[in-house]
Amino acid sequence: MSQVREILEVAAYAPSGGNVQPWKVHVLVGAAKERLSSALCALHDDPVRAALLREDPPYHAPEWFEPYRSRRRRLGWALYGLLGIERGERERMHSQHARNYSFFDAPIGLIFTVDRRFQRGAWLECGMFLQNVMLAARARGLDTCAQAAFNQFHTIIAEHLSLPSEEAVVCGMSLGHADPGRIENTLRSERVPVDDFVHVHTGPDESVA
Ligand SMILES: Cc1cc2nc3c(=O)[nH]c(=O)nc-3n(C[C@H](O)[C@H](O)[C@H](O)COP(=O)(O)O)c2cc1C
């Protein structure tokens, strides 16, 4: 745990406007992690109950649109391809998704929250905090996986962690050692070329190398 504490101490040097440091993080280990995992795995297996729960606030756009829909699908099919899961194999997809809720068997689960009275600034800053956690973990030989999969179950998470009503779940994260023997950990995601997301604005006689 002292290593986790050190990672979080370092991560807290993330910049934040006015130094308000809006992030909060719940560290789950042992029985507390198992209890939350069991509750969420059971919920994941109960589509009727799960469908009644809504993300609060929603994480993605209400409907996917291009080019993001295709990027997301490409990643999904790359993962399923590695695992040998074919289109229509819903049971296997469901089981693979369920691995999120056991924190991919990592010994430590993290749940990040911010006060819902904040608007996008706090979420942006929490993202920088999250990135720092991931980098600080990597620097110490540990691996992470950020997980928005938790967000739809925020009411159950709130119950388990006794979150006050003003705390909103930003996302979860698994923290531990990635198993190099698992095929899914060999997945390397691609990135769009820089020119696809950069727009350079210059004066008429100026250029940027
Ligand atoms: C905020 C956030 C939420 C994510 N949620 C999940 C998730 O729920 N489950 C999962 O397996 N991966 C999740 N990911 C991992 C992304 O799919 C991954 O970062 C992306 O495909 C890029 O791959 P890379 O980080 O290996 O370069 C998440 C990443 C971020 C930053």
pLDDT tens-place values along the chain, 209 residues long: 899 999 999 999 999 999 999 999 999 999 999 999 999 999 999 989 988 888 888 899 999 999 999 999 999 999 999 999 999 999 999 999 999 999 999 999 999 999 999 999 999 999 999 999 999 999 999 999 999 999 999 999 999 999 999 999 999 999 999 999 999 999 999 999 999 999 999 998 887 76
Residue identifier of the C-alpha nearest atom 31 of ligand 1: 146
Is 71 within the bounds of a domain? Answer: no
Is 173 within the bounds of a domain? Answer: yes
Is 74 within the bounds of a domain? Answer: no
SS3 for the chain is CHHHHHHHHHHCCCCCHHHCCCCEEEEECHHHHHHHHHHHHHHHCCHHHHHHCCCCCCCCCCCCCCCHHHHHHHHHHHHHHHHCCCCCCHHHHHHHHHHHHHHHHCCEEEEEEEECCCCHHHHHHHHHHHHHHHHHHHHCCCEEEEEHHHHHHHHHHHHHHCCCCCEEEEEEEEEECCCCCCHHHHCCCCCCCHHHCCCCCCCCCCCCC
Q: Quick one: which atom of ligand 1 is closest to the CA of 188?
A: 26
Is 169 within the bounds of a domain? Answer: yes
Q: Is 149 in the pocket of ligand 1 (CB under 6 A)?
A: yes
Cis-peptide into 57, omega within 30 deg: yes
Q: Is the full-model pTM beyond 0.85?
A: yes
Is 107 within the bounds of a domain? Answer: yes
Distance 23 CA to ligand 1 centre (A): 19
In 3D space, the residue among 139, 142, 130, 147 whose CA is nearest the CA of residue 179 turns out to be: 142
Residue identifier of the C-alpha nearest atom 13 of ligand 1: 147
Which of 101, 169, 171, 188 has the most ligand 1 atoms within 8 A of CB, as the residue to mutate?
171
Range of the domain at 23: 2-51+102-181
The rounded distance, in Å, linking the Cα atoms of 20 and 6 is 20
The rounded distance, in Å, linking the Cα atoms of 94 and 99 is 9
Q: What is the pLDDT of residue 207?
A: 77
Q: Is 173 in the pocket of ligand 1 (CB under 6 A)?
A: no
Q: Is 178 in the pocket of ligand 1 (CB under 6 A)?
A: no
Is 20 within the bounds of a domain? Answer: yes
Q: Looking at residue 148, which CATH number applies to its domain?
A: 3.40.109.10
Per DSSP, what are the bridge partners of residue 26?
A: 111
The rounded distance, in Å, linking the Cα atoms of 25 and 142 is 18
Is 130 within the bounds of a domain? Answer: yes
Is 96 within the bounds of a domain? Answer: no
- How many domains does the chain fold into? 1
